[in-house]
């Protein structure tokens, strides 16, 4: 279980403090929504270690993560853009996730690309990919890194609706099969409707639990893709 | 240039019977070797220093960064004097070694002295440009790299090198050009004819033997070499400007890399900062007061300040005129054609331009001393033009991209558009251009070298004459005044103009 408890951050020169409390279970997707500037990305920066909190705790399966530098934390992070180094090939971008002694580099890269539906894209230059393909390559890299926590910062914001829907399905599928703890921050309602097992809204520096509402059967076409929440919770 | 072409077509150019024919092969070889070595060393130092400054965070970092930024405007004659004050026989290093009963018998004069001075000046300039490029790397890319635990070497290759390498051809071309046409440093630190370059030889043939034909042939050779070597590189990557900075995200390197970065920064500060410090320490003291009582010092100061201020204004008007007319064309060919005349001044050495004006003035039968103020203003404004355009063009392009349609729909054009839109958003850039124009003119020795007399003098010319007459105290005092004026203007003008533009908006 990823636990964020009273994790506090105050921007220098600002009076408002952000205080975050939430939990993410294995195989669960938690979505945090909020308007621009509400502090969504700050939450991810704190968890990833790019910012240091002034107070509170952060743990994964009872292991304190706060003393660890970003590169040592057991997580992968994906942004809206700039996840890939565009002058490198897809394969080289993925190879950055592998340490030198892991061996069978090519096979593992190919396997990861197959898993996100981009087998054969290895030699292509990252700059020649579409927005959706770039995000899938970035997801393939998280597969290779094999870290138990996945943080997504507005990951589908720059994609068209069909591509975004495919990506959401992929994130859902990977979270289920890999039992990742997935935390998404997004201002898109679709992300919450289609992906969230639990939903929070961020307002005035505090996370407020929201009730998931099934509003329109058409919007919820994804529902059959995932087992009912109660069943999944029963697994853990 | 017209003057040079006029002179080429005339046969009555003075030829001195006493002067030796120039050894063009030797001069070209020396100029090329010196410029090539300077370029290689300066780029290496620039990359290392930019890398260190990009990674390190410490109290006073902005001051250190802006100190290195002054390299482009620091008067070369002042730096040369500072080098002698630190590394000369009676310099700081030898004084320090004497405490430990040690001594350094080497000389700062010669090719190594020229290379050292060029490398600290151009290395600092390169570092400033490359640091600006490194700061454009998006924070998200840095965060991705850090979460992937990239090693310092991998980080440099994957993240830094792609943004740095794009700037190297044009940066290398500019440094090559600055070194190829360098005048005061080669003149003062060259140590004799063996290390003479084309630029210094042109000066010698005009000022010392008045052999204008020899000077003209050297100027043409120099122009041809500048064009052949530099234009392809500039055309391949014409802009050094980086597209804004991103919000700063700091990702420190490993301990080993951090130690290396501190070592690089310390060496660079010693190399660049010590000569400047020496100029200030040696100049501001008891030796300053006798200079302040000299009438010629105040005359030179007033001339320098007046010419600098007018040059700065002319540079701004010319640069604004060219960049705004460039922006009114959508065709890339027309835009390039309008920018080309300005960038052409990059390949025209100051002394060659000065020679062109000198010959034009003679052809028009005007006494050089009468034409000198106008020539100095115009020549220095033209020489600053490429740098001014490289500052203004990206800012204007960004404003155009963002607001062109809105401005057009509101009917904003001409002066109204400038007052409402461009001036409030470009105050800092306007300040930088004015500072460039002023400082280039203030530190100029290339143009004044052919027009300066005992009656018409600027501060660098007065300093040069004091050095020639072995009045080293006077030279040190003038150097400190020159350096202080340069630093104050370069540091104060951009924020001042930014503030003024915001106050007006």
Q: What is the pLDDT of residue B254?
A: 87
Q: Which residues does chain A have within 8 Å of residue B162's beta carbon, measured at their own beta carbons?
A: 85, 87
- Contact at CB, A76 and B143, closer than 8 angstroms: no
**Interface membership of A79 toward B (CB under 8 Å):** yes
- Contact at CB, B148 and A79, closer than 8 angstroms: no
B contact test, residue of A96, A97, A149, A150 with most B CBs within 10 A: A96
Q: Which residues contact A96 (CB under 8 A, 6 or more apart)?
A: A85, A141, B148, B150, B154, B158
- Residue A8 forms beta bridges with which residues? A19, A55
In DSSP notation, B130-199 reads HHHHHTTS-HHHHHHHHHTT--HHHHIIIIIHHHHHTTHHHHHHHHHHHHHT--HHHHHHS-SGGG--HH
Highest averaged pLDDT of the listed ranges A171-185, B8-22, B245-259, B415-429 = A171-185
Q: What is the pLDDT of residue A38?
A: 85
Q: Which residues does chain B have within 8 Å of residue A87's beta carbon, measured at their own beta carbons?
A: 162
- Contact at CB, A71 and B162, closer than 8 angstroms: no
Q: Give A112→chain B minimum CA distance, Å.
A: 16
Average pLDDT in the A142-152 region?
91
Q: Give A13→chain B minimum CA distance, Å.
A: 17
- Contact at CB, B147 and A72, closer than 8 angstroms: no
Q: How large is the angle between the packed helices B459-468 and B472-504, nearest 10 degrees?
A: 170
Q: What is the pLDDT of residue B46?
A: 96
**CA-angle at B145, arms to B140 and B148, nearest 5°:** 125
Q: What are phi and psi of B314, to 5 degrees?
A: -65, -40
**Interface membership of A96 toward B (CB under 8 Å):** yes
Q: Which residues does chain B have within 8 Å of residue A76's beta carbon, measured at their own beta carbons?
A: 147
Exposed (0-12), middle (13-18) or buried (19+): which is B99, by Cβ within 10 Å? exposed
pLDDT at B7 over 60: no
pLDDT at B289 over 60: yes
Length of chain A measured in residues: 236
Q: How many CB pairs under 8 A join A and B?
A: 44
- Tens of pLDDT, residue by residue over A17-69, are 899 999 999 999 999 998 888 888 899 999 999 899 999 999 999 999 999 98
Q: Which residues does chain B have within 8 Å of residue A73's beta carbon, measured at their own beta carbons?
A: 147
- Tens of pLDDT, residue by residue over B345-374, are 777 778 888 888 888 888 888 888 888 889
pLDDT at B247 over 80: no
Q: Closest by alpha carbon to A27, among A149, A184, A194?
A: A149
**Interface membership of A35 toward B (CB under 8 Å):** no
Q: Nearest-CA residue of chain B relative to A77?
A: B144
- Contact at CB, A82 and B150, closer than 8 angstroms: no
d(C-alpha B439, C-alpha B70), whole Å: 10
Q: What value does the mean pLDDT of chain B take?
A: 85
A contact test, residue of B138, B141, B144 with most A CBs within 10 A: B144
**Interface membership of A48 toward B (CB under 8 Å):** yes
Q: Which residues contact A16 (CB under 8 A, 6 or more apart)?
A: A10, A204, A205
Q: What value does the mean pLDDT of chain A take?
A: 83
Q: Give B250→chain A minimum CA distance, Å.
A: 9
Average pLDDT in the A152-170 region?
85
d(C-alpha B76, C-alpha B121), whole Å: 8
Q: What is the pLDDT of residue A227?
A: 33
Q: What is the pLDDT of residue A157?
A: 84
- Tens of pLDDT, residue by residue over B121-143, are 999 999 988 998 898 898 889 99
Chain CA centroid to CA A167, Å: 12
Structure-token pair, residue B15:
């030829």
Q: Give A157→chain B minimum CA distance, Å.
A: 15
Candidate from B149, B159, B162 with C-beta closest to A71: B149
Question: How many Å from the N-terminal Cα to the C-terminal Cα in chain B?
Answer: 41
d(C-alpha B243, C-alpha B240), whole Å: 10
Question: Higher pLDDT residue, B505 or A196?
Answer: A196
In DSSP notation, B272-334 reads IIHHHHHHHHHHSSTTHHHHHT-HHHHHHHHHHHHHHHHHHHHHHHHHHHHHHHHHT---HHH
Provide the Cα torsion A12, A13, A15, A17; round to 10°.
Answer: -10
> Is B493 within 8 Å of B434 (Cβ atoms)?
yes
- Contact at CB, A76 and B147, closer than 8 angstroms: yes
Q: What is the pLDDT of residue B241?
A: 54
Q: Which residues does chain B have within 8 Å of residue A79's beta carbon, measured at their own beta carbons?
A: 140, 143-144
- Contact at CB, A82 and B154, closer than 8 angstroms: no
Which helix (H) or strand (E) is B473 found in, with range? Answer: helix B472-504
- Contact at CB, B147 and A73, closer than 8 angstroms: yes
- Contact at CB, A96 and B150, closer than 8 angstroms: yes
Ramachandran area for residue B101 (φ above 0: left; ψ -120 to 50: alpha; else beta): left
ipTM of the complex: 0.74
Q: What is the pLDDT of residue A234?
A: 36
Q: Which residues contact B491 (CB under 8 A, 6 or more apart)?
A: B66, B70
**H helix intervals, B22-138:** 24-55, 61-69, 76-87, 92-99, 111-134
Q: What is the pLDDT of residue A217?
A: 39
Q: Which residues does chain B have within 8 Å of residue A93's beta carbon, measured at their own beta carbons?
A: none
- Contact at CB, B143 and A70, closer than 8 angstroms: yes
Q: Give A71→chain B minimum CA distance, Å.
A: 4
Please give the model's pTM, rounded to 2 decimal places: 0.81
Q: Give B164→chain A minimum CA distance, Å.
A: 13
**CA-angle at B74, arms to B72 and B79, nearest 5°:** 120
In the block, residue with structure tokens 């105290």:
B473
In DSSP notation, A23-71 reads EE-TT-EEEEE--TTSSHHHHHHHHHTSS--SEEEEEETTEE-TTS-GG
Candidate from B138, B148, B249 with C-beta closest to A97: B148
Q: Give A130→chain B minimum CA distance, Å.
A: 18
Structure-token pair, residue B18:
């006493």
Q: What are phi and psi of A7, to 5 degrees?
A: -70, 115
Q: Nearest-CA residue of chain B relative to A44?
A: B143
pLDDT at B274 over 50: yes
Give the model's confidence band at B505: pLDDT under 50 very low, under 70 low, under 90 confident, else very high.
very low
- Contact at CB, B141 and A85, closer than 8 angstroms: yes
Q: Give B260→chain A minimum CA distance, Å.
A: 21
- Contact at CB, B138 and A82, closer than 8 angstroms: yes
pLDDT at A13 over 80: no
């Amino acid at each position: 279980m990823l636990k964020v408890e009273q994790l506090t951050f105050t921007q220098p020169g600002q009076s408002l403090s952000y205080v975050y409390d939430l939990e993410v279970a294995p195989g669960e997707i938690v979505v945090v929504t909020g308007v621009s500037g509400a502090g969504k990305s700050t939450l991810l920066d704190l968890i990833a270690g790019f910012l240091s909190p002034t107070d509170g705790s952060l743990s994964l399966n009872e292991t304190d993560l706060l003393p660890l530098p970003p590169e040592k934390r057991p997580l992968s992070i994906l942004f809206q853009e700039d996840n890939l180094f565009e002058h490198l090939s897809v394969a080289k971008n993925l190879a950055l996730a592998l340490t030198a002694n892991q061996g069978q580099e090519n096979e593992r890269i190919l396997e990861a690309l197959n898993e996100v539906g981009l087998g054969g894209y290895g030699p292509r230059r990252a700059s020649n990919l579409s927005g959706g393909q770039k995000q899938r390559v970035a997801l393939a890299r998280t597969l290779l890194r094999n870290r138990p926590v996945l943080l997504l910062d507005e990951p589908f914001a720059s994609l068209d609706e069909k591509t975004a829907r495919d990506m959401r399905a992929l994130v859902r599928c990977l979270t289920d099969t890999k039992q990742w703890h997935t935390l998404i921050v997004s201002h898109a309602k679709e992300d919450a409707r289609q992906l969230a097992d639990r939903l929070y809204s961020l307002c005035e520096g505090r996370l407020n639990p929201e009730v998931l509402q099934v509003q329109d059967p058409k919007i919820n076409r994804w529902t059959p893709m995932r087992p009912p929440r109660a069943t999944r919770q029963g697994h853990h | 240039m017209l003057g040079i072409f006029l002179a080429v077509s005339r046969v009555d150019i003075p030829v001195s019977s006493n002067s030796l024919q120039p050894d063009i092969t030797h001069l070209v070889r020396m100029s090329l070797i010196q410029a090539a070595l300077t370029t290689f060393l300066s780029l290496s130092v620039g990359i290392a220093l930019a890398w260190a400054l990009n990674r390190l965070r410490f109290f006073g970092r902005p001051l250190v960064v802006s100190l290195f930024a002054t390299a482009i405007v620091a008067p070369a004659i002042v730096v040369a004097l500072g080098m002698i004050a630190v590394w000369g026989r009676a310099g700081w290093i030898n004084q320090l070694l004497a405490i430990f009963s040690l001594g350094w018998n080497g000389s700062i004069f010669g090719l190594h002295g020229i290379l050292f001075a060029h490398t600290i000046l151009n290395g600092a300039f390169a570092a400033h440009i490359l640091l600006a490029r490194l700061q454009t790397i998006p924070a998200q890319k840095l965060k991705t790299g850090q979460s992937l635990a990239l090693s310092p070497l991998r980080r440099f290759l994957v993240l830094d090198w792609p943004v740095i390498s794009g700037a190297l051809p044009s940066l290398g071309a500019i440094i090559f050009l600055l070194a190829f046409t360098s005048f005061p440093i080669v003149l003062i630190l060259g140590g004799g004819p063996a290390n003479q370059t084309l630029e210094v030889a042109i000066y010698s043939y005009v000022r010392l033997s008045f052999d204008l034909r020899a000077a003209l042939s050297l100027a043409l050779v120099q122009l041809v070499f500048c064009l052949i070597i530099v234009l392809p590189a500039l055309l391949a990557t014409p802009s050094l400007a980086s597209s804004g900075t991103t919000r700063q995200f700091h990702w420190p390197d490993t301990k080993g890399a951090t130690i290396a970065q501190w070592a690089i920064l310390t060496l660079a500060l010693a190399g660049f900062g010590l000569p400047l410090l020496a100029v200030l320490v040696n100049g501001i003291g008891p030796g300053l007061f006798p200079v302040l009582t000299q009438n010629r010092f105040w005359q030179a100061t007033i001339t320098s300040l007046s010419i600098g201020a007018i040059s700065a204004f002319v540079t701004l008007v010319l640069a604004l005129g060219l960049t705004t007319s460039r922006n009114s064309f959508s065709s890339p060919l027309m835009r390039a054609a309008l920018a080309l005349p300005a960038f052409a001044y990059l390949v025209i050495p100051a002394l060659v331009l000065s020679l062109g004006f000198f010959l034009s003035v003679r052809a028009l039968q005007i006494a050089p001393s009468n034409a000198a103020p106008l020539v100095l203003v115009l020549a220095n404004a033209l020489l600053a033009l490429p740098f001014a355009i490289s500052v203004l063009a990206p800012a204007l392009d960004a404003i155009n991209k963002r607001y062109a349609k809105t401005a057009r729909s509101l009917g904003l054009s001409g002066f109204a558009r400038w007052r409402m839109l461009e001036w409030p958003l470009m105050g800092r850039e306007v300040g930088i251009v004015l500072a460039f124009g002023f400082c280039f003119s203030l530190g100029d020795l290339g143009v004044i070298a052919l027009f300066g007399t005992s009656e018409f003098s600027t501060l660098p010319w007065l300093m040069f004459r004091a050095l020639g007459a072995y009045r080293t105290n006077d030279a040190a005092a003038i150097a400190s005044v020159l350096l202080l004026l340069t630093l104050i203007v370069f540091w104060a003008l951009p924020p001042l103009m930014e503030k003024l533009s915001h106050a007006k908006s």
